[in-house]
Amino acid sequence: MKRLFVFFIALFLISGVAFSQKREPGKVKTLVIDPGHGGDKPGALGKHSQEKELTLSIAKKFGKLVEDNYPDVKVIYTRTTDVDVTLAERANIANRAKADLFISIHINSHPTSVPVGMETYVMGLSRSRANMEVAKKENADILLEEGYKDNSAYKGFDPNSPESYVMFAMYQNAYIDKSLNFAQFTQDQYKGAIKTTNRGVKQAEFFVLYKTAMPAVLTEVGFISNPAEEAYMMSDEGQATIAVCLLNAFANYKAHEESSVKPKKMEIDLPGYGKNKGKKPVPQGDAVADSTLKAQMQQDDALATTILQSQGEEAPKANVELPEKNVPPSIEPFRQEEPEIQTVVRKDEVVVEGVTYRVQFLTSEKELKEGAKEFKGITGYNVYHQDGVYRYTMGNETTIARAKSTQNEMRKKGFKDAFVIAFYNGKRISLQEARELQEQ
């Protein structure tokens, strides 16, 4: 017994010495940059932009800066184009590369336009409902993946089920200290360079962080639901400044880990920053709105065709090309609750109860007068008002098939981007919601 006691005392002392010894600084040689969302998963939607577009642009700028200033660092992206990459595969890319650091770039959203600011997350249990909601929103991309329930990587994980998050409580991140260090470096840079709210470093149950075997963070670089922050993130100056903040955070982290010195002068050659500031105008107004609206139209149009086919019907043939790739039936479950849409009803319009389908063919920031040239002679239209934009529609059909016929007629009359939308008791809803209501 005495010998056993002495053995445990010796083991304790040896362990104490081992744990008290300073860990040998590691090397930061491989960086994986993860632009959030992509492909059929647009992420949060603003008035003039989509999350997937902004995260990719910022990620590429950040990666370029790292490559310019650290030739010894290998930069790997989880995507470099507008493609869909599963959450599990994003983590696998980093794990296969044996990355030293994983940075996932995202953009926040809220049902109102009030919240602003930047925050950075590390893997951990949410300490507030708000943090959990952010994690749910980003994790919900899983629901858009075909056959995700049978994917062994997810082990039955359901982003909307509180019970699924129990698995995170048993997870211990061996890299939590390093992750927290980088997260704090990042927030310090945001605070010093960008005039917005510093929302701090937080913990939440992000699946992509849970699966990565290295220091990892997810940073939300602003609110797309706030017009000012959306405009800033769309601008060359805003994207460049965010990318530079991430570069400086990386430089500080690398110097800290390697016990080295941060470069005195960083090479920064990006549009909208430093000597290049102001050289390239920031896209604004109708040009941006038209581009984003066209993408939204294509998505909704493809979804309408998918629903139609699921009902055993074919889309009416048209004299224009329809999108080749159908959007999965669930296109919007990850979006937070949207603000109520104000629907302006014409005097001669009869509001049909239940689900109806219309064809949106024209938008304008100003309300157009009847007979305006933009209508190209069209009469009998309806209009609803959303996000400060007047949206004009034709038809009020009870089936998608009839609405698609109306869509084809509108395209023949020159409105090539016309697409089908849904209403319920006179209020705008998503096509997926319409489908679910009609299947009840």
13 is a domain residue: no
Helix residue ranges per DSSP H, 151-221: 166-169, 176-193, 207-210
Note whether 100 and 204 are same-domain residues: yes
Which residue has better confidence, 368 or 21? Answer: 368
Rounded Cα distance between 239 and 54, Å, is: 8
Is residue 366 situated within a structural domain?
yes
Using the 3D structure, point to which of 276, 300, 327 is the last residue of a domain.
Answer: 276
Query: Is residue 261 in a domain?
Result: yes
Show the domain range for 366: 286-439
CB–CB of 148/330 below 8 Å? no
The mean pLDDT value for 214-232 works out to 93
Query: Which pLDDT band holds residue 420 (cuts at 50, 70, 90)?
Result: confident
The tokens of 265 are what? Answer: 């002068």
Whether 170 is in a domain gets the answer yes
| Mean pLDDT lowest among 2-16, 66-80, 111-125, 387-401 | 2-16
Same domain, 266 and 291: no
Domain co-membership, 194 together with 108:
yes
Please tell me whether residues 125 and 171 are part of one structural domain: yes
Amino acid at 117: G
pLDDT digits (tens, 9 = 90+) for 284-293: 333 334 444 4
Total structural domains within the chain: 2
What percent of the chain clears pLDDT 90, i.e. is strictly above it?
A: 31
| Pairwise CA distance, residues 71 & 133, whole Å | 39
In this prediction the pTM is 0.55
Note whether residue 197 is domain-resident: yes
The pLDDT of 30-52, averaged and rounded, is 91
Q: Distance between alpha carbon 67 and the CA centroid of its chain, in Å?
A: 25
Contact in structure between 123 and 210 (CB atoms under 8 Å): yes
Whether residue 340 is found in the same domain as residue 239: no
* Residue 18 reports pLDDT greater than 70: no
Say yes or no to pLDDT of 322 above 80.
no
Q: What's the pLDDT tens digit per position in 137-174? A: 555 554 555 555 555 554 555 555 555 444 554 454 67
CATH number of the domain where residue 167 is located: 3.40.630.40
Residues 260 and 156 both lie in one domain: yes
Pairing of strands 355-364, 427-429: unpaired
- Report yes or no on 7 lying in a domain: no
Burial letters for 350-376: b for 16+ Cβ neighbours within 10 Å, e otherwise? eeeeebbbbbbbbbeeeebeeeeeebe
Q: Determine contact, residues 103/35, Cβ cutoff 8 Å.
A: no
Judge if 173 and 113 occupy the same domain.
Answer: yes
- Backbone CA torsion sign across 314, 319, 322, 324: positive
In the DSSP assignment, the letter for residue 156 is: T
Same domain, 188 and 227: yes
377 & 405 share domain: yes
422: left (phi over 0), alpha (psi -120 to 50) or beta: beta
Is the residue at 19 inside a domain? no
Residues 105 and 206 both lie in one domain: yes
Domain boundary among the residues 227, 255, 276 is at 276
d(CA 159, CA 87): 12
Mean pLDDT taken over the chain:
74
Find out whether 254 and 261 touch, Cβ atoms under 8 Å.
no
More confident residue, 62 or 308: 62
State the CATH number of the domain containing residue 366. 3.30.70.1070
